[in-house]
Amino acid sequence: MAESDNIVAETAEKIFADLADAQTINRDKKDEWKAPLWQALTDAGLPLAWVSEDCGGSGASLAEGFSVLSAAGRFAVAVPLAETMLAGWLLAQAKIASPGGEMTVVPASPRDRITVNADGTLSGRARGVPFAKVAKHFAVLASDARGDLSIALVDAGKCRIESGLNLGGDPSDVVTLDKVQPVAIKPAPKGFDQARLMLMGGVARSLQIAGALESMLEISVRYSNERVAFEKKISKFQAVQHNLARLAGESAAALAAATSAADAIANATAFNDEVFLEAVAAKIRCAEAAEKGGAIAHQVHGAIGFTIEHILHRYSLRALAWRDDFGSDSYWAVELGKLVAQRGADELWPLVASR
């Protein structure tokens, strides 16, 4: 497990270790672990980490918040921490203060649109919104007839929510806004667009996937050193070692891509092609790593890893589910391919080698 970079991440790590141990959670059929965990996270100011103190948050830096998300990935926690952080961040872009409690962002797919009507109400439909079901408020990005963007705080109770579940068993819902009067609405800052929101969400998911892969590597290595077959620990079989070496490679690639993208966004002065490449590449490469790495983790665990009793699925299925949020890897690969094609062949290497 990687060492924490800072005090904020250390706090998160400690809370997860105390209250979100995967074994305990997996055995708790009534989700009794959720309330104390959320309370502890709230007391530590983590859900509103990206909101300045004058807007009701704890004013952590982008980088600190990102490392909280890496830790959340390592524990594969199924509470809307990333979602509330993103919502707080979005609201803060328009200097709207965040209320307390669980939040999520709407839309959560680059292909969904929410509209600001002439009377100031909001309409539209957004699919695959993570944790909409448990959120008290939504941070909404919407555009009016002229295409100008606004950011709004919306009471979740005013919206229609059709429940759904993602691969990992977490809420992934359809949210319909039918002339909903927002609690607050303000213009989005100049240059802000929906791609920017999606990529911020995408980087959050990339860090979570990379974290889950780190944990999958760790439990797989441990298991291979415990399980005996043919009178040997299976870790002594070369075929198993090579599978684990590949898992280490996928985990390393995911971590490198996700942390590089987080670093790029945290230090960006403008959201240019180079930052776009970092964010999109992370989402694509982490999705690929989730597929390849998750398969190896299951292989090493044999049938035990396929059971609901075992913790492996907490990581593997969530990592697979997170591929789809805020634009799938396929969607972003097309966008990246278009950008590269538009810049032209001779501008590809300068883009890749820009930092």
Partner 1 sequence: MTAALRFDPIRLPPECEQLRKEVRAFLAEEIAAGTFDPHQPNREDTDVPEFSRKVGARGWLGMTWPKKYGGHERSFLERYVVTEEMRVANAPTRRFFVADRQSGPVLLKYAPEHIKMEILPRICRGEICFAIGMSEPNSGSDLFAAKTRATKTDGGYLINGTKIWTSSAHIADYMIAIFRTSPPTKENRRHGLTQFLVKMKQPGIQVNPIGQITGQYEFNEVVFTDHFIPDDHVLGEIDGAWKQATSELAYERSGPERFLETYYVLTELVRAVGNNPDIRSAEGIGRLVAQVHTMRRMSVSVAGMLQAGKEPVVEASIVKDIGTIWEQQLPHRVRELAAFVEETATNRETLEKQLDFAIKTAPKLTIQGGTTEVLRGIIARGLGLR
Tokens representing 198? 């999606």
Q: How far is the CB of 232 from partner 1 (least distance, A)?
A: 12
The separation between CA 336 and the C-alpha centre of its own chain, rounded to angstroms, equals 20
Q: Is the Cβ of residue 3 or residue 54 nearer to partner 1 in the bound state?
A: 3
Separation CA 30–CA 206 (nearest Å): 29
Out of 43, 54, 309, 346, the residue judged to bind partner 1 by CB under 8 A? 346
Alpha helix segments (H runs only) across 228-311 = 238-266, 273-301
Question: For residue 138, which of 168, 169, 173, 165 has the smallest C-alpha distance?
Answer: 173
- The answer to whether 131 and 101 have CB atoms below 8 angstroms apart is no
DSSP state for residue 19 in the 8-state scheme: H
Q: Is 195 in the site for partner 1 (CB under 8 A)?
A: no
Q: How far is the CB of 211 from partner 1 (least distance, A)?
A: 13
Q: Is the Cβ of residue 7 or residue 348 nearer to partner 1 in the bound state?
A: 348
Question: For residue 144, which of 179, 120, 126 has the smallest C-alpha distance?
Answer: 120
Q: Is the Cβ of residue 183 or residue 351 nearer to partner 1 in the bound state?
A: 351
Amino acid of residue 197? L
Q: Is the Cβ of residue 157 or residue 344 nearer to partner 1 in the bound state?
A: 344
Out of 259, 290, 301, 324, the residue judged to bind partner 1 by CB under 8 A? 259
Separation CA 238–CA 202 (nearest Å): 36
Q: Is 341 in the site for partner 1 (CB under 8 A)?
A: yes
Residue 340 CB neighbour total at 10 angstroms: 16
Question: For residue 282, which of 169, 343, 206, 200 has the smallest C-alpha distance?
Answer: 206
Q: Which stretch binds partner 1 (CB under 8 A): 74-82, 107-115, 121-129, 344-352?
A: 344-352
Q: How many residues bind partner 1 (CB under 8 A)?
A: 60
Q: Is the Cβ of residue 151 or residue 265 nearer to partner 1 in the bound state?
A: 265
The CA radius of gyration of the chain, in Å to the nearest whole number, is 20
Q: Is the Cβ of residue 117 or residue 241 nearer to partner 1 in the bound state?
A: 241
Q: Is the Cβ of residue 3 or residue 309 nearer to partner 1 in the bound state?
A: 3
Tokens representing 34? 């959720």
Q: How far is the CB of 104 from partner 1 (least distance, A)?
A: 27
Q: Is the Cβ of residue 11 or residue 206 nearer to partner 1 in the bound state?
A: 206
Q: Is 160 in the site for partner 1 (CB under 8 A)?
A: no
Question: Strands 122-130, 114-116: parallel, antiparallel or unpaired by DSSP?
Answer: antiparallel
Question: For residue 172, which of 326, 333, 332 has the smallest C-alpha distance?
Answer: 326
Tokens representing 53? 């103190």
Q: Is 55 in the site for partner 1 (CB under 8 A)?
A: no
Tokens representing 341? 């094609």
209-248 positions binding partner 1, by CB under 8 A: 214, 217-218, 221-222, 224-225, 235-236, 238, 240-242, 244-246, 248
The binding site for partner 1 (CB under 8 A) comprises: 1-3, 214, 217-218, 221-222, 224-225, 235-236, 238, 240-242, 244-246, 248-249, 251-253, 255-257, 259-260, 262-264, 277-278, 280-282, 284-285, 288, 329-330, 332-338, 340-342, 344-346, 348-349, 352-353, 355
